[in-house]
Amino acid sequence: MAILHINVDHVATIREARKTTEPDPVYAALQAEQAGAAGITIHLREDRRHINDRDVRLVRELVQTKLNLEMAATDEMVKIAIQTKPEIVTLVPEKREEVTTEGGLDCISQAAVMQKSIDALKKEGIRVSLFIDPDLHQIDQAQKLGADDIELHTGEYANAQNDPQKASQLKRLEAGAIHGHEAGLKINAGHGLTYFNVKPVVALPYLEELNIGHSIIARAVYVGLHQAVIDMLALMD
Ligand code: PXP
């Protein structure tokens, strides 16, 4: 079974709506771990719109499972990652005006920038994952750049409007997972996954990790975070 990493950015988004101290994403990370999450994911954005530097420090100190730090491939973020030493860095594209990460990295046109960040992180013993669309050229490029993992962007699958569209997006994800595995990459997936669409994704071949945030934090409003994590784990099993 694939393992579940919980993205707690959305807890920080609620905190930042009032620029106060609650709810605390660090507390949420620890609760998610207690409920059975195998890892915690946080995205430190350049504009610090949700997770901030204090959260990164405390989550690193307190999380006992694995920390996946999502970030843009910039010098500032690479420096923070090297100080923080997460188990995994996931490089993601970042645009200030977007509401959430909109698409996968273009690691072909951005090859030089990617290579510099990947080399610096790997030199420090940090596993590097690239968040990419299930595009075979991008997957080949991820391998060439020396990534350890790829996180397949499931957003297009999640946004599919009908069953044929969903089936065709799942086929792309499946082909991407097989291609990535054959290239020696570890296969992760995430973005837009919910209690209603996660099952076919869990069944993808070679899938090792799922990163899920919004849907789990949304359900936590009604049932509490502990129960929301347990509900997702039950669906994935
Ligand atoms: N994976 C990556 C790379 C992301 O950027 C995000 C969103 O922060 C997620 C997974 C989680 O997406 P969602 O909040 O839609 O579950």
pLDDT at 99: 67
Which among 197, 126, 114 is positioned nearest to 155, based on CA atoms?
197
Residues assigned a catalytic role: 43, 70, 191
pLDDT at 61: 98
Cα-to-centroid distance, 102 and ligand 1 (Å): 10
pLDDT at 103: 82
Cα-to-centroid distance, 90 and ligand 1 (Å): 11
Query: Could you state, in chain order, the average pLDDT of each consecutive group of 10 residues for the chain (237 residues)?
Result: 95 97 98 98 96 98 98 97 98 78 88 97 98 98 98 98 97 98 98 97 98 98 98 96
pLDDT tens-place string over residues 68-107:
999 999 999 999 999 999 999 999 998 766 666 668 999 9
For residue 192, the ligand 1 atom closest to its alpha carbon is 15
Q: Is the pTM of this model over 0.85?
A: yes
140-to-13, 14, 61, 109 alpha-carbon distances in Å: 35, 38, 35, 13
pLDDT tens-place string over residues 138-158:
999 999 999 999 999 999 999
- Name the residue with the closest Cα to ligand 1, atom 5: 101
Instruction: Please say whether the beta carbons of 27 and 61 come within 8 A.
Output: no
Which CATH topology does 3-236 take? Answer: TIM Barrel (3.20.20)
